[in-house]
Chains A and B, each alone.
Chain A
Amino acid sequence: MRIRTAGVVALFALALAASGCGGDSDEPAAKDTPKAAGGKLVIWADDKRTAALKPFTEKFGQENGVTVEVQAVPNEDLQNNFVTVSSQGGGPDVVIGAHDWIGNLVQNGAIDPVQLSDEQKAAFNETAVKAVTFNGQLYGVPYAQENLALIRNTELAPEAPKTIEDLVATGKQLKAQKKVTETLCLQVGQKGDAYHIYPLYTSAGGYLFGTTANGDYDPKDLGVGKPESIAAFKKIAALGEKGEGVLKRSIADTNSTATFTGKKCAFLVSGPWATADVKKAGIKYDVSAVPGFAGGKTAAPFVGVQSFYVAAKGKNKALAQEFVANYVTTPDLAVALYQADPRPPALTAALDQVKSSDPDLAKFIEAGKNGQVLPAIPAMAAIWDPFGKAEAAVIGGADPTSTVTAAGKTIAGSIK
């Protein structure tokens, strides 16, 4: 019996030790309030941006006597993880992500509007402010914007093509001379890529959503499946595998840039993120707008904006608001973020600072001048997959009329 009593005593000692070890990490609320002078601000960002943010958040923390913690979450999981933890009442105070998340984040009650003064708003690129405005409210503070452009190998194609027809003619000539194997590197893949085909789709006359009186996208006016979209896809089909062979499913997100840097094609449709690889490959290149069809409309790429959001369920909303509305709006941070990931800053002052050292930025902005803000409405989520697949099917030689009509039905069916 004695040995058992000793065992029980030892056991409880161990239990307390074990729970003591665990206790540290998991009760910030109970522990921090009385001791630490300030609250704690938790920021979620992807790996690259985490590194760029750290010096600034540390400075912010020191200046204001608060603790700032930047947690790296992989970009592809960020939105989903954030919505999940937010619905359970936890999560970060500030989140960084693309503006087209806004619709979903708002419908899940995960973010709060940000109140900027008119002067603060005026410091930003107009498109960027428009992108983060949803239902008439500003939901995020933009820091960078991005859009597609045509990157061309100037050794192979010195002149920027004015139309797709020009581009195809140049590409074919280069192909005949055995200088390249592909006319155009525009990623399609087996399930298509709505984002990358969009400039051609708009140039050929198609649209995704109509706009309401106040300029917002209107999910009730769906353009896919309408005669304009069928006509547009017919033009795309003519460039496809059964037509000119310019658009191919074998060129996908995984090999598009690599094919360009391997000098197998003279033209690449991509965004600012591709320039790093192109530079590394030592290719002489230039950036211009994605050309449209001759006699068609201007090709409009999607303009996307990267932005800071204030989490609705954050523990320290006042501090989060302070950080997002009054600290992120300074050019220094925007420049640092640009250096971590070269997308054009949304703050005009920051763009002016970096423009001179990086001529590509102005060219990307110029290429996005005719762009359309990527719709942030939740209905947009219903577009990507069916639209992309219809694109892949049409490029593979399927009948545009029936394919696009079916895609339109599928999309309309999943928009509530």
Chain B
Amino acid sequence: MSTPLSGPGPAQQAPGRGPVRTGSPRTSRTARNHAPITAAGLAAKVILLGLVAGIAIWAAFPLVAAEKWVGLAVLVLTTAALFYLYLGRRHVPAKYLIPGTLFLIAFQVVPVLYTASTAFTNFGDGHRGSKDDAIVAIQSSSVKQVPGSTQYPLSVATKGDPATGALVFLITKPGTDTVSVGDAGGLRPLDPGAATVGPGGKVTAADGYTVLNFGQASARSKDITDLVVPTAGGALRSSGLSRAYEGKAVRAYEAGCDCVKDSDSGKTWTADGEVGAFVAADGERLAQGWKVNVGLSNFTRVLTDERISGPFLATLIWNFAFAIGSTGGTFILGMLIALALHSPRMRGTNLYRMLLILPYAMPSFAMLLVWRDMFNTDFGLINNLFGLSVDWFGQDWSARAAVILVQLWLGYPYMFLVATGALQAIPRELTEATSVDGASRWQSFRAVTLPLLLVALSPLLISSFAFNFNNFNAIYLTTEGAPFPADNPSNGATDLLITYTYRLAFGGQAAQFGFAAAISLFIFAIVAVVSAVSFRRTRQQEEVYA
């Protein structure tokens, strides 16, 4: 582009800065100073950075409101770093790498780390929030109406400003005009005549008080639900904005013993930090628990629970067979069709190509459901068309064959497309040369076409394998893992690890995210190893043929 040693580069170099590496950065910086600033480039920069700043400011408000200071710090640092990077003229490689890296962190690294950290907890239904949340839930769900107590028409009022003033309850004794005023101090009767009682018993006005309308009252929702007026039998609480009832919190948390006591039965549940629940002496647990760290127990459960480790190996083998069968089958079929259409003697190839791509153009989600119905024993198209009475999804091997068949149908157009592209990139001279040398068509295919195809398609095959290895929809929308052995409802013949995990995590008692995360990590490890090995082999192959 220009002579590397001209320009201000060396002269402006700060003294004493990395004497060893002066050579190469200097060269590149000089070159950059010559890069022209175009209006379009500047506009793009302004717009993109403006968006970054906009998103950052937009994201900052909720973070401040929720007092998430760590998140805010990360946000500020990231934004500052982006501005520093793109407003300056240095660090050209970083300018190219940072966007991708940021997305990689946001969409790959963070979810993986989050999954990994979840795997060490009991996060799931009944254990979602903190201990404080659980205590609040236990106490508020234990508030019961005092037996035989009456409910009162209620108005919410204040002596001060409707938006800020301290609130009181104005309640009317049903059937009378007797009005009492209640606050945290208790209930006092109001002078007769001081309040106007409307139809239905609600106080509409009272001397010295401003009665809040629904709009004003609902803006003070939290204050109203928090207002508890102590009475002899319990306490008056609001039930909505127009009724009050006398209720009593039967269960209360006591910090001294770190336990929940039931005042009716006298039973005590003590906090157990290991399981994240309040547990009574007889082993009874309160349903509302909290999230705790459970160490490796989710992982050991995978290995020691017979229901899980028993069928794990069989599922793993089928999972490999399914992924290899789907990928290999679609590849062979797609490639054969591509080869056939690649032949110069073929006529009407465009029409064929269009027709062949159709399955690829249809939403696989819907097609899977259609296929499921076509395999129905009594009403399905396949049995009716061929006069069969095969219980497709009811037997191990027919169900397996069926799901692979469906995958084949769904997947071959893709392989056909990519193989067509790759075939067109192989120079015809090469195959012509083999025929000149006297090679048969098969030999020419084996020795020239296939290896060159594989070089181009191996990465796609590997990603297709990884995708099919975790192809949840293919199973869940067709067989749902069926058929299941009569004595084991948790693991069916066509279950992949991912559908099996899904059932373990969500199908049983309740959502068990911690446990599901642990199994996901196992699957992640398996797929990662398979992919790493395959990529290594591909690279060796590329070295041979490149």
A and B part of one assembly = yes
Residue A122 CB within 8 A of the other chain: no
Contact across chains for A322 and B215 when beta carbons are under 8 A apart: no
Choose from A14, A317, A405 the contact partner of B47 (Cβ within 8 Å).
A14
Residue B285 CB within 8 A of the other chain: yes
Taking CB atoms and an 8 Å cut-off, the chain B residues in 487-518 that contact chain A are 487-490, 503, 507-511
Contact across chains for B480 and A190 when beta carbons are under 8 A apart: yes
**Chain A's nearest CB lies how many Å from the CB of B244?**
9
Q: Which residues of B contact A64 (CB under 8 A)?
A: 213-215, 218
A322-B240 contact in complex given A19-B58, A83-B125, A107-B288, C-beta closer than 8 Å: yes
Residue A271 CB within 8 A of the other chain: no
Residue A213 CB within 8 A of the other chain: no
**Chain B's nearest CB lies how many Å from the CB of A391?**
10
Residue A149 CB within 8 A of the other chain: no
Name A413's closest neighbour in chain B (CB-CB).
B307
Name B213's closest neighbour in chain A (CB-CB).
A65
Q: Which residues of B contact A8 (CB under 8 A)?
A: 87
Contact across chains for B241 and A322 when beta carbons are under 8 A apart: yes
Residue A176 CB within 8 A of the other chain: no
**Chain B's nearest CB lies how many Å from the CB of A134?**
9
**Chain A's nearest CB lies how many Å from the CB of B208?**
23
Bound complex: CA A399 to CA B485 (Å): 11
Taking CB atoms and an 8 Å cut-off, the chain B residues in 42-98 that contact chain A are 42, 45-47, 49-58, 61-62, 65, 87
Q: Which residues of A contact B58 (CB under 8 A)?
A: 18-19, 22-23, 26
Q: Which of A286-294, A335-343, A374-382 participates in binding chain B?
A: A374-382
Contact across chains for A321 and B240 when beta carbons are under 8 A apart: yes
Name A403's closest neighbour in chain B (CB-CB).
B486
Bound complex: CA A389 to CA B480 (Å): 11
Bound complex: CA A394 to CA B394 (Å): 12
1/0 per position for B216-249, CB-CB distance to A under 8 A?
A: 1111111011000000000001111111010100
**Chain A's nearest CB lies how many Å from the CB of B376?**
5
Residue A263 CB within 8 A of the other chain: no
Taking CB atoms and an 8 Å cut-off, the chain B residues in 143-181 that contact chain A are 143-145, 151, 163
Q: Which of A70-78, A109-117, A361-369 participates in binding chain B?
A: A109-117
**Chain A's nearest CB lies how many Å from the CB of B540?**
44
By the criterion of a CB under 8 Å from any partner CB, how many residues of chain A are at the interface? 98
A255-B379 contact in complex given A30-B65, A322-B240, C-beta closer than 8 Å: yes
Choose from A29, A399, A403, A416 the contact partner of B509 (Cβ within 8 Å).
A416
Choose from B45, B377, B511 the contact partner of A249 (Cβ within 8 Å).
B377
Contact across chains for A3 and B287 when beta carbons are under 8 A apart: no
Contact across chains for B507 and A385 when beta carbons are under 8 A apart: yes
Contact across chains for A191 and B54 when beta carbons are under 8 A apart: no
Contact across chains for A250 and B377 when beta carbons are under 8 A apart: yes
Contact across chains for B42 and A7 when beta carbons are under 8 A apart: yes
Contact across chains for B65 and A249 when beta carbons are under 8 A apart: no
Q: Which of B104-112, B128-136, B432-440, B456-464 participates in binding chain A?
A: B128-136
Contact across chains for B57 and A379 when beta carbons are under 8 A apart: no
Contact across chains for B509 and A11 when beta carbons are under 8 A apart: no
Of listed B129, B247, B490, B508, residue having the most chain A CB within 10 A: B508
- Given A137-B144, A191-B482, A323-B240, list of 14 further CB < 8 A pairs? A14-B50, A108-B129, A115-B151, A181-B378, A191-B480, A316-B221, A321-B238, A322-B241, A325-B239, A378-B126, A385-B508, A390-B486, A390-B489, A392-B482
Task: Enumerate the 7 nearest inter-chain pairs by beta-carbon distance, A residue then B residue, closest first.
Answer: A18-B54, A109-B137, A14-B50, A38-B215, A322-B240, A15-B53, A65-B215
Q: B residues bordering A, Cβ < 8 Å?
A: 37, 42, 45-47, 49-58, 61-62, 65, 87, 125-126, 128-129, 133-134, 136-137, 140-145, 151, 163, 213-222, 224-225, 237-243, 245, 247, 285, 287-289, 307, 373, 376-380, 391, 393-394, 479-490, 503, 507-511
Show 18 residue pairs from A and B whose CB-CB distance is below 8 angstroms, ordered by the A residue. Answer: A10-B46, A15-B54, A23-B58, A30-B61, A108-B126, A115-B245, A249-B391, A255-B376, A255-B379, A316-B221, A318-B222, A322-B241, A324-B240, A326-B240, A382-B508, A385-B503, A386-B490, A415-B509
